[in-house]
Amino acid sequence: MKVMNIDDPEKFFEVVNKCKGTVELVTAEGDRLNLKSQLTKYVALTKLFADNMIPEMEIVAHDPDDVNRLLEYMVSGK
């Protein structure tokens, strides 16, 4: 799924941390990075500070409940 216009990365990562399963960031090269990893968070935040916003990320959640949690975040910001 594509996540667009993340302007509150702290809230986004709070939602990711509540996920039970693996949530991965898919890079432009097709690599998959675990979003629960501190290193991956650092990379995402570096991108945020470079652009003042993360305009788009492709993520993969393996647990259906996690997919619903992430969709709820995207729709309502909660």
Note whether 63 and 19 are within 8 A (CB): yes
Checking if the pLDDT of 68 tops 70, the result is yes
Tokens of 74: 């995207």
Q: Tell me the per-residue pLDDT of 9-67, one tens digit each, with 9 for 90 and over.
A: 788 889 999 999 999 988 778 888 898 888 877 776 676 566 656 667 789 999 999 99
Q: Which are the contacts of 18, defined by CB distance < 8 A and separation ≥ 6?
A: 69
Note whether 62 and 5 are within 8 A (CB): no
Give the pLDDT of residue 18: 94
The domains found in the chain, sorted by start residue, are 2-76 (3.30.1340)
pTM of the model: 0.76
E-assigned strand segments in the chain: 2-6, 23-26, 32-34, 54-61
